[in-house]
Amino acid sequence: MHKPIDSAIMTIFGITGDLAHRKLLPALYFLQRDNLLPEHFKIVGVTRRNAKVKDIMESLEARIKAMDTPCDSAILKQLGKKIQIVSMDLTSKDSYKTLKTTLDTIETTEGVCLNRLFYLAIPSQVFEPVVKLLGEAKLHTGCQHHTAESRLLIEKPFGFDIDSAHELIEALSVDFTEEQIYRIDHYLAKETVQNILTFREQNPLFKSSWNDQHIKRIVITATEKIGIEGRANFYEHMGALRDLIQSHLLQLLALVIMREPARTSSEAIHAAKLEALKSIVPPADDLMDTMTVRAQYEGYRDEVENQQSNTETFAAVRLTVDTEGWRNIPIYVRTGKNLTAKDTEISILFANEGSPAKNQLTIRIQPDEGIQLGITIKKPGYEAATGIVHMAFRYEGEVASEHPDAYERVIIDALKGDKTLFATDEEVMECWRIVQPILSAWEKNRVPLLGYKPGSSGPESGETADSFLLHLTHPRLETLPIITTQTSLGEDESN
């Protein structure tokens, strides 16, 4: 059953910040354009600065235009009317009382009870004090009449390591229940990511062969062309392993290996996902140097003004899964910044024991969203040679090319109270369990920090590292020839 999009006040902490500017406000603009916001909907923008709605709308207009999308001034105006700014000191108790009065007044003016969404688009270091003060001001208890709910939306990083993640979970749970907390992992809200389960389960051909009897390798790659984009403070503390692998990429892996959920409910999906995450095994301590690679692009230290920095901008790890159906296959999870291209994909190799024949399935998450399958055929002609052709489905031009952006989906689901695409506390902790031994080995310098050229495909070679963990390249869908010139199937066509 489809859930209704409930009326709400969305309080955005950090309305003048980078996340609000780049993602949230454009998402709200597009939801306004597509008439998807509820009838009673207000935005309260919290900021330390003395900003005006007019300033916010001007910077939003510039952002929309920079996205190569026409910006409709009437839509901007409609959205602007929904926004009210509250300039406040985030550390002052009294400010939260003022905030509460503002929300109560909006509700009274609207004449209906409104859910209260608190979106923390602020640095994670201040999550705990802000949430504590929200609690002290009783802002976690819903509307004035206690009929509409309060919900807390937070962005990763959910902690810095396993201990701080646990502390954060404990601190937030003092006033907010797990049910009220929406941990955003925007990868889960990407259209192509939501397709993973459907594709696996609704196609008998793949459903019956989705196990280690047929699948011999899984490679999840997320390369980025951009560097750290001026986020030196954030990135220096983060690094590629925490930034992409601990969250987004392990969530993708869980969707690939999880058992079919008993039902399509949020609870059933989360239960199956948690079980999958629990079965993922990090590399053994004595294998860290063959099973993990960390590297930093040249010039990074100057960029962050720290010549001693050991922060990795490239991370690749080989994992295994200890559960029936997946026990024997290597799983690679790889990411890096300042590489050749932006490419996020899941590549799955189907092969049978003792036979060179294989099929490579690639789920393209972005860009060129789609699914591609390499199949072997007899090459046309008099010879008995074989070749590989690629059957490809692309979203663009095939099905609605206009699908909601991840942040539009995040906002709509949070308004509906649908938690399917948000990470649970237990999932977050499992992801930390997987990466913590790697982080610890890297912190002790047990794995060398390699270098790579900006714009390259990553480090060329590590002393002992598995070659799948090094330079990351893959042909993009549109560049693939219809029939490759390959005549022997002995060669590996992946990577």
The nearest distance, CB 366 to ligand BG6, in angstroms, is: 6
The nearest distance, CB 344 to ligand BG6, in angstroms, is: 6
| Cβ-Cβ contacts under 8 Å for 375 (sequence gap 6 or more) | 359, 388, 389, 390, 391
Element (H, E) at 235: helix 232-240
Examine residue 224 and tell whether it contacts ligand BG6 (CB under 6 A).
yes
Give whichever of 186 and 379 is closer to ligand BG6, judged by the CB atom: 186
**Count of positions on this chain that bind ligand BG6 (CB under 6 A):** 4
Nearest in space to 315 (alpha carbons), one of 344, 291, 296, 294: 294
Give whichever of 243 and 303 is closer to ligand BG6, judged by the CB atom: 243
Give whichever of 7 and 221 is closer to ligand BG6, judged by the CB atom: 221
The nearest distance, CB 177 to ligand BG6, in angstroms, is: 26
Q: Please name the amino acid found at residue 430.
A: E
The nearest distance, CB 262 to ligand BG6, in angstroms, is: 30
- What residues between 393 and 452 interact with ligand BG6 by CB under 6 A? none
Chain centroid to CA 413 = 15
Give whichever of 186 and 270 is closer to ligand BG6, judged by the CB atom: 186
Asked if 121 and 24 count as a contact pair (C-beta separation under 8 A), the reply is: yes
CA–CA separation, 71 and 67 (whole Å): 10
Return the percent helix, strand and coil in the chain, to nearest 5: 40, 20, 40
Of all residues in the shown chain, the one whose CB is closest to ligand BG6 is 243
CA–CA separation, 156 and 159 (whole Å): 8
The nearest distance, CB 67 to ligand BG6, in angstroms, is: 13
CA–CA separation, 77 and 60 (whole Å): 11
Q: Give the strand pairing for 370-378 and 358-366.
A: antiparallel
Q: What is the maximal distance between C-alpha atoms in the chain?
A: 84
> What does the chain come to in residues?
495
Give whichever of 18 and 136 is closer to ligand BG6, judged by the CB atom: 18
Q: Give the strand pairing for 370-378 and 343-351.
A: unpaired
The nearest distance, CB 280 to ligand BG6, in angstroms, is: 20
- CB neighbour class for 190 (10 Å; exposed up to 12, middle 13-18, buried from 19): buried
- What residues between 243 and 262 interact with ligand BG6 by CB under 6 A? 243
End-to-end CA distance of the chain: 41
Catalytic site positions: 248
Write out the E strands in 367-473.
370-378, 386-394, 422-423, 449-452
Q: Please name the amino acid found at residue 132.
A: K
Give whichever of 224 and 466 is closer to ligand BG6, judged by the CB atom: 224
The nearest distance, CB 204 to ligand BG6, in angstroms, is: 31
Give whichever of 207 and 231 is closer to ligand BG6, judged by the CB atom: 231
Asked if 103 and 44 count as a contact pair (C-beta separation under 8 A), the reply is: yes
The nearest distance, CB 243 to ligand BG6, in angstroms, is: 5
Asked if 240 and 355 count as a contact pair (C-beta separation under 8 A), the reply is: no
CA–CA separation, 288 and 444 (whole Å): 11
The nearest distance, CB 157 to ligand BG6, in angstroms, is: 8
Examine residue 303 and tell whether it contacts ligand BG6 (CB under 6 A).
no
User: Both tokens of residue 429?
Assistant: 């902790």
- How far CA 62 is from CA of 15, 71, 426, in Å, comes to 16, 9, 39
**Phi and psi at residue 412, in whole multiples of 5°?**
-60, -45
x/- mask, ligand BG6, residues 348-387, rule CB under 6 A, reads ----------------------------------------
User: Both tokens of residue 410?
Assistant: 């995040």
- What residues between 176 and 205 interact with ligand BG6 by CB under 6 A? 186
Give whichever of 19 and 103 is closer to ligand BG6, judged by the CB atom: 19
Examine residue 345 and tell whether it contacts ligand BG6 (CB under 6 A).
no
Give whichever of 356 and 455 is closer to ligand BG6, judged by the CB atom: 455
CA–CA separation, 99 and 10 (whole Å): 12
What is the contact surface with ligand BG6 in residues (CB under 6 A)?
186, 224, 243, 344
